[in-house]
Chain A
Amino acid sequence: MILFFWLLLSRFSGWSKSVFPGPLQVFESLWGLILNGVMVKHVVASLYRVTIGFYLAILLGIPMGIILGRINIAKSFLNPVLHFLRPISPLAWIPLAMLWFGIGDKPAIFLIFLSSFFPLVVSTTVAVANIDPVFFHVAANFNFNRYEQLKKIIIPAILPEVVTALRISIGIAWLVVVAAEMIAVKSGLGYLILDSRNALRMDYVMGAMIVIGIIGLFLDVLMKRLSKIEPVFWGSIGS
């Protein structure tokens, strides 16, 4: 259906083929990009940046969220800072990122890290603060030490919410990577779009958009899978 409308729209919109290409032309160009390896190169570059940035955000954000949720002093010190930084779009950091990290992968990774870090910290903090205190009583009653409390109470208790947060933040990370790649780098899907625009190849632009959409969808499905693992899934039905 969509393809059909696209076909009609491009045929009768009055714009020329180079401004608003039809589906056939786009898929043909896209196929060409896939065959000559250009597309693979850009996809790998984008995914690489998202993966690194996202992992960094997980590695720092989730432990920080747990600390903020459990230790009130940490919360009263760090929460105001976090809530001040959070509403600033990662894109506003572009000049600083370039200044600090120069040209290349690093500023892009930094921007992706920022985009997923704040939502992860906030959701983890909320999830930890919402754990039913009865579970901590049980832990105390059965003489859990701090490590056991973390491993057997806190982490499994927050997992359902954290997985949801991961799903949302990888979506954001994928949005941000395209924007981040329009500056400072010479590869990635964002760069491909920018470069194609400069070359006035709207068919390439649209091809890249399609690939971005498909990969975004794939990342979301991947994250959804994660929430179906049984120890994670306990929360979706309620205790």
Chain B
Amino acid sequence: MGHILIENLGKTYIDRRRKQRNSKDKNRSPGTQVQVLKDINLELEDGEMVCILGPSGCGKSTLLRIIAGFDRPSEGTVLIDGKPVKGPSSDHIFVFQHSSLLPWMTVRQNVGLGLRHMNDKKAMGKQIEEYIEMVELEGFEDHYPYQLSGGMKRRAELARALAVDPDILFMDEPFTGLDYLTHLKIREEVVNMHEFLGKTTLFVTHDIDDALVMGDRIVVLSGRPAKVKLSRKLTYVRPRDFMKEKGLSELREEVFFMLGVHYAV
């Protein structure tokens, strides 16, 4: 459970912004169609972690939102376990770019969001505890999100996502806004979690190192309209080290080059 098949996916927006008077930009006339995604073909095996890279504004997040069912494709299909995606579902949880913990609920209530239908309240409480422990937030169960640091919020959100035991995790640049150390730490935790739970994960990021350190595969998208430019399996064992794995650092340079950076250190 957790197989994703994307076929000939395309997304076109209609630009409804009114044309400005005397505007020289003839391409921005009202009703202009803006193609964001074009002919995306992608298959994720069950349990695979795929990191999607691409220039900013290329439509990475749009792609993710379509697969998760928050948005509809203009062309093509998305099949999850053979069935077309009809909308969001608690079988595939989305971790948003900015904290989406409900600010009026405590950590415990947030983590329990997906478990609220369990009849056995005792078992439910135990399960919530378990996931809170897993992300090392013991002692903060009754704190509200505003009382947590950025990293703790991310952990709580991960616990909330994992607590429903989803088939698929979607992550949209989940490390945005974290300081460098916290970023590395949470990244480590996500990798460990992936090794341990083996959930299909689709991870959108603009950080090439994140993608190379975490992914079972990286996919590089081109600029608008986004197409798959590169899809490469990474078989290096984790934890990965750019110094030791020559192939990895070469790939890193290649990807940087592909995204238009020529002298990345």
Which residues of chain A have a CB within 8 Å of any CB of chain B?
134-135, 137-138, 140-143, 152-153, 156-157, 159, 230-231, 234-235, 237-239
Contact = CB atoms under 8 A, between A and B. Distances in A.
Contacts of B144: 230, 234
Given A140-B70, A141-B93, 8 more contacts: A135-B100, A137-B94, A140-B87, A140-B88, A234-B104, A235-B103, A239-B101, A239-B146
A147 B127 CA distance: 25
27 contacts: A134-B96, A134-B100, A135-B100, A135-B102, A137-B88, A137-B94, A137-B96, A137-B100, A138-B96, A140-B87, A140-B88, A142-B90, A142-B113, A142-B114, A142-B164, A152-B102, A153-B102, A156-B102, A157-B104, A159-B104, A230-B144, A234-B103, A234-B144, A234-B145, A235-B103, A239-B145, A239-B146
B229 interface: no
B89 A237 contact: no
B99 interface: yes
Most buried by A among B102, B104, B144, B145: B104
B100 A237 contact: no
B114 A238 contact: no
Contacts of B145: 234, 239
B92 to A, nearest CB: 8
A217 B18 CA distance: 50
B98 interface: yes
B108 to A, nearest CB: 14
A237 B148 CA distance: 12
A93 B168 CA distance: 60
A239 B103 CA distance: 6
Interface string B100-119: 11111100000001100000
B88 A238 contact: no
B233 to A, nearest CB: 29
B87 A237 contact: no
Interface in B119-158: 144-146
Contacts of B114: 142
B104 A138 contact: no
B90 A239 contact: no
B106 to A, nearest CB: 9
Nearest to A140: B88
Contact of B94 (A141, A153, A159, A231): A141
Contacts of B70: 137, 140
A236 B174 CA distance: 25
A190 B54 CA distance: 70
Contacts of B100: 134-135, 137-138
Nearest to B115: A142
Contacts of A142: 90, 113-114, 164
B99 A239 contact: yes
A226 to B, nearest CB: 15
* Top 7 closest pairs, chain A to chain B, by CB: A156-B104, A239-B103, A140-B88, A141-B88, A134-B100, A237-B146, A234-B103
B104 A231 contact: yes
A133 to B, nearest CB: 10
Contacts of A153: 102
Interface string B52-92: 00000000000000001010000000000000000111100
B146 A238 contact: yes
B178 to A, nearest CB: 16
Contacts of A231: 104
Nearest to B166: A141
B213 to A, nearest CB: 27
Contacts of A230: 144
Contacts of B93: 141
